[in-house]
Structure 1
Amino acid sequence: MKTLFELVEIYNRNHARNEDWKLSDFKNSPKSLEEQIKDAVWGRESRTNRDKHQFRIPKKTLEEMVGILQDPAIVNEIKRCKSFDDFFTIVYESRIKNFGSLAVYDTSVRLGAIFGYYPTVVYLHQGALEGAHQLLGKDLVETISKYFCGNLDYPYVSRDIFPEPLNKLEPYHIENFLCINKNKLKME
Structure 2
Amino acid sequence: MANHAETTAPETTAVVEHAPAGGEHHVEPSALGMGPGAWVALSMLIFLGILAYKKVPAAIVGGLDKQINAIRKQLDEAKVLRAEAEKLRAEYAAKIANAEKDAASMVEHAKTEAAAIIAKAEADATAMIGRREKMAADKIGAAERAAVDELRAKAAEAATAAARNLIAKNHSAGADKALVDGAIAGLVN
TM-score norm. by structure 1 comes to 0.15
**Structure possessing the higher relative contact order (Cα contacts under 8 Å, 6 or more residues apart):** 1
* Larger Cα-atom Rg: 2
- The structure whose residues are more often helix, as a share, is 2
TM-score norm. by structure 2 comes to 0.15
